[in-house]
């Protein structure tokens, strides 16, 4: 792609798809038409950064402000970016740090109002951990509480007996309903490995938990 012949808004793809650093970044760092180079960088990545903040639950106006702040930081620090890693990864770090700082600032502002998680609220007074924690919401009387507690204990033991990586895959699948691909990305394993772990886990857990749980086809 030629530096000055392409409309930035019509071509949002990075100029180099081989994992090397962005060509516009190189040009900016070399002082070749820096304004145009940075404009190209902005147009290529603004949507990506904006989307990142949208996904974090900020309003459109906040996303715009945070994305602008991100690019201001990029502009300020671009001279120090060494092209040993991908520009996109570096951009992520800046975006993620701004996201975390924003959360921190918001939490500082709310410091006077202590944060109480929904989990804590459901615990009620005196909920101090232990197996009985998971039996709080069933509301079916002492017998049902006992059964719930027993199920919880069985599940806990069955999970603990799984190999650690298999256990993590199960939790990510059941708790968060993640796709195989997402679990693979999080655990840094192949999709086939995730599938194999989940298949084996299903077999093992069915043997031990079929009497306690209805749906073990996660």
Partner 1 sequence: MSAKPNLQPTLQALIDRDRRGLAEHPTPEELVDYHAGELPAEEQDDLRNHLVLCHDCADLLLDLVSFAEFTPPEQTPSLADGEVKNAWQNLQPRLMAREEPLPAVAQLAEWRREGGGGDFVPRRRLMQAYAIAATLLVGVVGLGMWAGSLQKSLQEASKPRIDIPVVYIPPEGGTRGGDDETPVIAGTKNRPVIALQLIEVPEHPEYSATLFDGTGQAVWEIPRLHRRDDETLTFELKDGLQPGKCEIRLFASGGKQSEPLAKYPLIISAEKSH
Among 21, 27, 37, 148, binds partner 1 (CB under 8 A): 148
Contacts to partner 1 from residues 18-77, by CB under 8 A: 38-39, 42-43, 46-48, 50-52, 54-55, 64, 67-68, 71-73, 75-77
Residue 186 beta carbon to partner 1: minimum distance, rounded to whole angstroms: 5
Contact 40, 9 (CB under 8 A): no
Query: Site size for partner 1, by CB under 8 A?
Result: 81
- Please choose, out of 23-31, 192-200, 209-217, the segment that lies near partner 1 by the rule CB under 8 A: 209-217
Among 32, 96, 110, 192, binds partner 1 (CB under 8 A): 96
- Please choose, out of 7-15, 24-32, 190-198, the segment that lies near partner 1 by the rule CB under 8 A: 7-15
Which is closer to partner 1, CB of 4 or CB of 82?
82
CA atoms within 13 A on the CB side of 26: 12
- Please choose, out of 25-33, 193-201, 210-218, the segment that lies near partner 1 by the rule CB under 8 A: 210-218
Residue 32 beta carbon to partner 1: minimum distance, rounded to whole angstroms: 16
Backbone dihedral region for residue 130 (phi beyond 0: left; psi -120 to 50: alpha; all else: beta): left
Report CA 146 to chain centroid distance, whole Å: 36
Residue 10 binding partner 1, by CB under 8 A: yes
Residue 110 binding partner 1, by CB under 8 A: no
Which is closer to partner 1, CB of 3 or CB of 42?
42
Among 27, 81, 166, 201, binds partner 1 (CB under 8 A): 81
Contacts to partner 1 from residues 175-204, by CB under 8 A: 175-176, 182, 185-188
Q: Could you please report the per-residue DSSP string of the chain?
A: --TTTS-GGG--S-S--SSSPPHHHHHHHTTSSHHHHHHHHHHHHHHHHHHHHHHTT--HHHHHHHHHHHHHHHHHHGGG--TTS-HHHHHHHHHHHHHHHHHHHHHHHTTTS----HHHHHH-TT---SGGGGGSS--SHHHHHHHHHHHHHHHHHHHHTS-HHHHHHHHHHHHH---HHHHHHHHTS-HHHHHHHHHHHHHHHHHHHTTT-S----
Among 1, 20, 104, 190, binds partner 1 (CB under 8 A): 104
Among 23, 102, 174, 191, binds partner 1 (CB under 8 A): 174
């Amino acid at each position: 792609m030629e530096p000055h012949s392409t409309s930035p808004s019509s071509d949002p793809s990075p100029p180099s798809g081989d994992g090397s650093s962005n060509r516009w970044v190189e040009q900016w760092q070399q002082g070749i038409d820096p304004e145009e180079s940075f404009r190209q960088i902005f147009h290529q990545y603004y949507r990506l950064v904006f989307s990142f903040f949208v996904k974090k639950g900020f309003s459109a106006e906040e996303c715009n402000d945070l994305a602008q702040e991100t690019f201001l930081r990029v502009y300020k620090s671009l001279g120090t970016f060494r092209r040993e890693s991908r520009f996109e990864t570096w951009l992520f770090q800046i975006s993620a740090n701004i996201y975390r700082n924003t959360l921190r600032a918001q939490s500082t502002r709310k410091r006077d109002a202590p944060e109480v998680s929904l989990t804590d609220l459901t615990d009620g007074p005196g909920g101090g951990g232990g197996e009985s924690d998971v039996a709080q919401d069933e509301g079916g009387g002492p017998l049902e509480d006992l059964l719930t507690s027993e199920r919880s204990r069985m599940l806990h033991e069955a999970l603990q007996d799984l190999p650690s990586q298999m256990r993590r895959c199960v939790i990510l699948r059941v708790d968060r309903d993640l796709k195989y691909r997402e679990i693979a990305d999080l655990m840094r394993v192949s999709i086939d490995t995730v599938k194999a772990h989940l298949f084996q886990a299903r077999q093992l857990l069915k043997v031990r938990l079929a009497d306690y749980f209805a749906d073990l086809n996660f």
